[in-house]
Structure 1
């Protein structure tokens, strides 16, 4: 099998979600489409722990702490969508969706899901869905945005997104790769949405200890070698200040390590750096 796609990190994330479904570990997050969209069987996924580093799924599937973080991140986000729907929100925007399958598993018949990504990435995803025999539901709207030539605002407007209605924005695995200016531009757009507006995202933090520094440098070097360098990190205090500046008043911040422990009861998994936030205005 050969998968061609625009992003090795997006593929690694997809493989991590898929391998979590068959791994011998506490199930944090269930996604029955994760393997299908990649076109891999359970046996092929199970074999990934012996795959070499050149395999596109090796980094996602073989590293247990990262895999559990990705599963915890997905669960945290989908729980937030569930809670938003319970309050009456009927629009969800997934920024940088990659091969995420929530929109195809969407259990809420009146929730419209907008997936925002680069046109090439979305064409790749559409091909994967077609090959896997996964039907995109009527509640899914693709919103291709080439940020070199257009804005998030124009892309979502063209897709029929309603700026006057409440929404939840899910922004996973993206912030660390953006410049501070790009982050602020996106936050300003989200903050101008009709209230209530929910936002779920993850971000990286500066290393707190020498051991964290070593681990984070190694991870940063791996993704930089793939042409996707980390550009921005925040302390929890700094990101809270930024969110309050944009009008978010309810800020719920969780270190990834704590979420992994909460969801799995595993005490031997160490994954410093990422935090997950749910904010509301």
Structure 2
């Protein structure tokens, strides 16, 4: 068993002002996407300044979509009980699937503004996303969130507030898969010309598969539990349409010419 690191979730505290590590991880993700995007902006006819605008659209999509998605899929009862809970972002409670929908809406609006096709832009965005996903999972870990299921593996950790049993550090698994592995694969794959929408479809399939797999060792949300079959979680249920959509997109894309 490994001792859970005692890290203060508050990174900076100045009087009543508290800056949490979880929030800083979003800045890391947006900053990395901005820096990487500027390196490839010319590929789709964008200027480096345009990338800053794109990150703004994406940030709004992530924050609104992620929060409202979490409220819809995971925390509807909390919103009914206390509507102001929606604004307590430092407590966690962001849904990737909701954030994805928000980013896709932002991408649609941005693409129309800059005369780009939707998939032309999403193919550009997809390799920029994993670093932010990985940083977010580190934020979850520091925030003592997303504990795994009870385990006897040597690297199991005792998470504060969820009992004395060692558990899988599932947020670190997600960091490794959704952050590191997904970035390496997509950045390499998109470094060469591909058919339109192929990179977007690959992103959906890989993220959905990674998330589905990790859910088997991640503790289900206590207020939801299993959705069906005594093993299907909400995260898995939301990932299935992603994988199916990704496979359909890849099948359609494979018939196109390389762009």
What's the TM-score, normalizing by structure 2?
0.29
Larger Rg: 2
Q: Answer 1 or 2: which has greater helix percent.
A: 2
